[in-house]
Amino acid sequence: TNVIIQLSPPPANSPTSLSPSVPRYVAIYRFGSVVFFNISHKEASRLLEQIKKHAVHPIPVGFERREFFEMALQPQLETAAGKITADRALVRELDMNTVGVVSNIMGQTVALDWHLDTVDELLRNFSNINSSVESTGNFTSMERHTLFQVVARNNSLFIEMVGKMGIKDRSDTAWHLSQYEGLHEGMRKEFDLDERFRHIEFKLNLIQQNAKFFLEVMHAQKSNTLEWVIIVLISFECVLMVMDMSGWGSRLLGI
Question: Tell me, what's the pLDDT at 77?
Answer: 84
Separation of alpha carbons 161 and 155, rounded Å? 10
Residue 112 pLDDT > 90: yes
- Strand, coil or helix: 22: coil
- The residue count of the chain comes to 255
* Helix residue ranges, H only, the chain: 41-52, 96-136, 141-159, 172-176, 181-190, 193-246, 248-253
How confident is the prediction for the chain on average, in pLDDT?
82
Q: Which of 124, 110, 130 is nearest to 153 (CA)?
A: 124
In this prediction, residues 138-142 reach a mean pLDDT of 66
Strands 3-7 and 88-91: unpaired
List the one residue out of 51, 35, 138, 15 whose CA is nearest residue 94.
35
Per-residue pLDDT tens digits for 167-192: 888 777 877 888 888 888 999 999 99
Find all residues with CB under 8 Å of 151, minimum gap 6, and list them: 207, 208, 211, 215
From the list 37, 30, 73, the residue with the least C-alpha distance to 54 is 30
Among 46-50, 160-164, 187-191, 220-224, the least confident range: 220-224
Between 15 and 120, the more confident residue is 120
pLDDT of residue 195: 93
Closest CA to 162 of 3, 31, 4, 1: 31
